[in-house]
Amino acid sequence: MYGYTGKYLRINLTTGKINVELLNEKNAENFIGGRGLGTKMYMDEVDPEIEPFSEDNKILFVTGPVTGISAPAGSRYMVVTKSPLSGTIASSNSGGFWGPELKFAGYDLIIVEGKSEKPVYIYINNEHVEIRDAAEYWGGLVTDVTNRIKEATDPKAKVLTIGPGGENLSLIASVMNEKDRAAGRSGVGAVMGSKNLKAIAVRGTNKVEVYDKEALMKTYKESLVKIKENGVTGSGLPTYGTAVLVNIINEAGMLPTNNFQLSQFADADDISGETLADKFLIKNTACYGCPIACGRHVRIGDGEGGGPEYETIWAFGSDLGINDLNEIILANHMCNEMGIDTISAGSTLAAAMELYQRGYIKDEELDGMKLEFGDAASMTEWMRKTGLREGFGDKIALGSYRLAESYGRSDLSMSVKKLEMPAYDPRGVQGQGLNYATSNRGGCHVRGYMISPEILSLPQALDRFETKDKPVWTKIFQDLTAAIDSLGFCLFTSFALGADDYAEFMNAATGMNFDGESILKAGERIYNLEKLYNLEAGIAPSEDTLPPRLLNDAIEVGPSKGRVHELGILLPEYYSERGWDSIGIPTEKKLKELGID
Amino acid sequence: MNVEVRLFATLRLNRFKKDFMEVAEGSTCNDIISIIGIDVNDVAILMINGIHSNLSDFIKDKDIISIFPPVGGG
SS3 for A445-489, per residue? HHHCCCHHHHCCCCCCCCCCCCCCCHHHHHHHHHHHHHHHHHHCC
Same structural domain, A411 and A430? no
* A172 found inside a domain: yes
Q: Is residue B73 part of a domain?
A: no
User: Of A420, A451, A473, which closes a domain?
Assistant: A420
Q: Is residue B30 part of a domain?
A: yes
* In-domain check, residue B61: yes
| A11 neighbors A122 (Cβ within 8 angstroms) | yes
Containing structural domain, residue B36: 2-68
CATH number, domain with residue A319: 1.10.569.10
Whether A325 and A271 have beta carbons less than 8 Å apart is answered as yes
The domain that contains B32 carries what CATH number? 3.10.20.30
Is residue B51 in a domain?
yes
For residues A436 and A345, state if they share a domain.
no
Q: Are residues A415 and A437 in the same domain?
A: no
Between chains, do B71 and A230 touch, taking CB under 8 Å as contact? no
Instruction: Give contacts of B12 with chain A, Cβ < 8 Å.
Output: 274
Amino acid identity for residue A538 in this structure: G
Q: Measuring CA to CA, which residue among A97, A75, A8, A81 is closest to residue A48?
A: A81
Do A495 and B47 lie within an 8 Å CB cutoff? no
Closest chain B C-alpha to A157 CA, distance in angstroms: 29
Instruction: Please indicate, yes or no, whether residues A251 and A378 belong to a single structural domain of this protein.
Output: yes
Instruction: Give domain status of residue A503, yes or no.
Output: no
Do A488 and A367 lie in one domain? The reply is no
Along the 597 residues of chain A, how does pLDDT read in single tens digits? 999 999 999 999 999 999 999 999 999 999 999 999 999 999 999 999 999 999 999 999 999 999 999 999 999 999 999 999 999 999 999 999 999 999 999 999 999 999 999 999 999 999 999 999 999 999 999 999 999 999 999 999 999 999 999 999 999 999 999 999 999 999 999 999 999 999 999 999 999 999 999 999 999 999 999 999 999 999 999 999 999 999 999 999 999 999 999 999 999 999 999 999 999 999 999 999 999 999 999 999 999 999 999 999 999 999 999 999 999 999 999 999 999 999 999 999 999 999 999 999 999 999 999 999 999 999 999 999 999 999 999 999 999 999 999 999 999 999 999 999 999 999 999 999 999 999 999 999 999 999 999 999 999 999 999 999 999 999 999 999 999 999 999 999 999 999 999 999 999 999 999 999 999 999 999 999 999 999 999 999 999 999 999 999 999 999 999 999 999 999 999 999 999 999 999 999 999 999 997
Measured distance CA(A483)–CA(A520) in Å, rounded? 7
The answer to whether the Cα torsion of A201, A203, A208, A213 is positive or negative is positive
- Residues A143, A246, single domain; the answer is no
**Cβ atoms of residues B50 and B38 within 8 Å:** no
Residue A170 and residue A251 share a domain: no
| Cα of B25 to nearest chain A Cα, Å | 23
Question: Do both A371 and A474 map to the same domain?
Answer: no
Range of the domain at A489: 426-495+515-594
Q: Assess if residue B74 is contained within a domain.
A: no
**Cβ <8 Å between A236 and B69:** yes
Q: Which residues of B touch A294 (CB under 8 A)?
A: 73
Q: Suggest the residue from A251, A272, A274 to mutate for an interface test with chain B (most B CBs closer than 10 A).
A: A251
CATH number at residue A567: 1.10.599.10
Give Cα separations from A20 to A23, A43, A386, B2 (angstroms).
10, 20, 38, 71
Q: Single out the residue in A360, A391, A420 at which a domain terminates.
A: A420
The residue of chain A with its CA nearest to that of B13 is: A274
Report the domain count for chain A: 3
The answer on A369 and A458 residing in a single domain is no
* A444 and A403 share one domain: no
Residues A166 and A139 in one domain: yes
Q: Is B52 on the interface with A (CB under 8 A)?
A: yes
Domains of chain B: total: 1
Q: Are A154 and A125 in contact (CB under 8 A)?
A: yes
Q: Does B50 touch chain A (CB under 8 A)?
A: yes
* Domain closes at, from A420, A445, A463: A420
Q: Is residue A505 part of a domain?
A: no
Residue A506 falls within a domain, yes or no?
A: no
Identify whether B55 is part of a domain: yes
Tell me whether 0.95 is exceeded by the ipTM: yes
Cα dihedral A186→A187→A189→A191 (10° resolution): -100
CA–CA separation, A108 and A60 (whole Å)? 11
In a domain, A533, yes or no: yes
| A219: in domain | no
Question: Is residue A209 assigned to a domain?
Answer: no
Strand ranges across the sheet with A181-183: A128-133, A120-125, A197-203, A158-161, A175-177, A181-183
Q: Does B41 touch chain A (CB under 8 A)?
A: no
Query: Are residue A39 and residue A184 in the same domain, yes or no?
Result: yes
Q: Are A523 and A483 in contact, with CB atoms under 8 Å apart?
A: yes
Q: Which residues of A touch B (CB under 8 A)?
A: 230-233, 235-237, 239-245, 247-248, 251-253, 269, 273-274, 294, 309-311, 445-446, 449, 451-452, 455-458, 461, 463-464, 491-492, 495, 558-560
